[in-house]
Each structure stands twice: as structure tokens, then as C-alpha cells.
A and B are shown apart, each in its own frame.
Chain A
Amino acid sequence: MARVLMATEQKYIERDIEEYYVADEPFYVPTSDEIEIFESAYRQRVPILLKGPTGTGKTRFVEHMAWRLSEGLVPRNPGEEALNGNGEKLPLITVACHEDLTASDLVGRYLLDADGTRWIDGPLTRAVKSGGICYLDEIVEARKDTTVIIHPLTDHRRSLTIDKLGSTIDAADGFLLVVSYNPGYQNALKDLKHSTRQRFVALEFDFPDEEREAAIIAHESGCDNDTAERLARLGVKIRNLREHGLEEGASTRMLIYAGRLIKEGVSQRRACQVSVTWGITDDPQIQRSIDEVVTSIFA
């Protein structure tokens, strides 16, 4: 009986992507004036490009901004007043790009069903129609044809052309395109074309300084301040190895995970080992070196 009940009881929330907006404030510690820049850019509907290594808070930042705008904490249009929670919700539609992502995955496609064909809007189209923020994560990963689709959306036209339907959609007022990418410095073939990158306001993300990072770790993981400080220090030390064997530094996210494990009672050294050392590299030599740093910082 109980089982049946469990099955019928809905344990998840399912909503259309247009209805997804950030309801609770995502924790975000600004490192500079990026919040102001984002707000201004949004009011002017200038598309935004977020650059930076993995785990530096790009996605979190977008969520945070979507929340701020959704809550109406800041005016959405030039000359408006802030609505402070009474505004219309602003949807956030996130698409994680991958190498097989084609234009029709973004725009939409016809599906064949019993009655014939049916058009389904892709996430980008739905964002354009609903007037939300469309966030294309790791845009360079997507196929080249996708970048061309977004061009008309990123200039004065603000329109999306759908070849298959033979139609053009002007973006709803609230729509804004935000893309992110990680400029891996040795990636010869995966780079953003200039014709694309010059359509965006670019915000650079890097790891926060030690103090801020400690605060972030403490907040996100709930571990004590001393542990958080040590984790932040570990992060700084490991990032010194970037380009000397490590392709990427330790992300803040990684350190937060370590903090969470520590809070759960896992010993500090072990927590760092499983969430940082082993995660960041497979090279035994570098692992050993990082291990030495861990065992120096954590007793």
C-alpha cells in the first residue's frame, strides 16, 4: 500500500521552462562591480559574455542576477523604479552546450506523431517568446552553426529567425542572451569567433581572493571559519600550480565540497583528498605534491 502511495505522491516539481525563475536568493559575493555592470547591461539589453575558469561562480552569478531582476530589486528598464518584489517574474532558461548541440536543438524542430507533424519550440525560442534570460553555458562547446543563430539576437534586431517555420520572432521585452565560456589557453580549435565575441559585454571571472573565498566556503558548506580559511588557502596554493602541470586550478566549488564533507565529520585531510586532490588531476606526481600541500595546511 505504502508503495503505491509513494508512487502516486509527486516528489518532484516539474514546470515549463518559461515558468522557472529563481525564487530564493542565490548566495553570491561580488568580487568587483559585476553586479552593477550586469544591471546596466540588462537595462540596455546588451548581451553578456562571462569568461573564466570553471568553478568561479559564473552560473551562480547569472542565477543571482536573474533573481535580483525577478524580485524587481533593480529597475529593468531605463528610468523605471525598482519594484522590490512586486515585479513580473523573469524566467531563466539555461542551456548547457555540448559538442553535438545543433541549431535546431536551440531553436526547435518538427516532431512526427500520429496526426502528422507538430512543431516544438527549442529553449532559445521559448526564452525569446517569454522574455527571459537565456543562458548558454560553455558556448564554445556547441556546434558552429548555433553561434550564427544567435547573431541576430545579439544586435539591434533582437530577433530569431526560424527557417523551418519561415518565420521571425522579435524577442519579448525582457529577453537577454547571456553566454559563458572558459578560455582554455591551449585550446587551438575551440575558440569563440571574433564576429561572435564582439557582440557581447564581457565580464571576466576569476577566483575570489582568499578572504572572500573563505567567506564563500564557510557560507556554502557550513563548515567553521577556521576550516574555511584553510580550504581557501589550499585553493590559492593549488592554483599556483596552474599551467605547471594542472590545466585548471581548484575551483571554489571543489573547496566547498571539501568543506561539506568536513562538516559531515570526514577528517580534513581525507576530505581534501577525495574532493580536491583526486578530482583535480590523475597525474600521480602532482597528486603527491598536492597531498603534501594538504598535509601541511591541515593537521
Chain B
Amino acid sequence: MLTRRKILVFGSLMGLSSWLQAKSRASIDRKVNTKVKRTIAAVQEHLFPSNSKIPSAKMMHANTFLLETISHKSYDKDIRRFVLEGAKELEVREKGLFTTLSKEDKERALREYEETNYGSSWLSRIMTLTMEGIFSDPIYGSNKNEKGWQAIKSFGGQPRPNTRYLDV
């Protein structure tokens, strides 16, 4: 069983960037820095591009959805950290240039990242979080005008939620 702790241990065994580990726990939390946001957005847009049969991550505001989702109290805090750390690790591998790479180079970078257990788990997590946006109820801010549902001719059931996360 691959526990969430093991995922995190994988990360530290790989020697996640030292500047990251030097930071205090407090600074990791709540506020996500702009660089990390952009890296995650670039990955989401690469995985869910605009010329696909399903709406793109960009059009679906999947990045905002992802950041709001991982910061909600219903979301596992360890996985939240993993999502953020994984983006930093990708930037370390790509010398901080991932967002500026060409489509081909992004593909190369992500496929190489996928070769590692850590990178593969992280990409899978980004994919899940993006799909959660595109295919969840529009109340969560992604799946704009039900475009995600329309693309697959499958719609959420009635009644629809009138509040996010049952208002807890």
C-alpha cells in the first residue's frame, strides 16, 4: 500500500530542493507563491490543451479550481503540500524554466519527470485535480457553463448542489 507518508518520504529521499526544506513549515502553508501557481498552471495546460475534444484547463479556470480545492479544509493537508512541493521539484529539475519551455520541451520534461515514482504520482495528482474541476458541478468554479459535461454528453444528477462542500 503506497501511503501518503511514503509519497512524501520518496520526495525527501530524492533530495527535494534544499531551499524548500530550509523554509519553515509556516511559510509553506496557506499562501501559494506565484511561481508555483504558474508552474502548476503550465502543467495543467499541457495535460489539458486547447485543441482537445474536452475543454482546456485554461478555459475551465482549472488552476484557480486546483488552488482553491487544495486549500479547502476538506482536502488532505499532506497531499496539499505534495502538490506544491512537486511543482517546485519540477522547476528544480528544469532549472526554474519550465513555464518558458516550448511545447515539445515541456513534453520531454514531464515524460522524464514521470519516470520517477515521485513525478509520476505528482502528475497523476495534477491530472485528478484538473479533472475534478472540469467534470464537477459548475458551482466549484470550473466546468464553465457545463462545457466539460457537454463534451462527454454526461451531466451531473438532480438536484445539483447549491453550495460548495455541503457548506461545512
Chains A and B form a bound pair = no
Binding site for A on B (CB under 8 A): none
Binding site for B on A (CB under 8 A): none
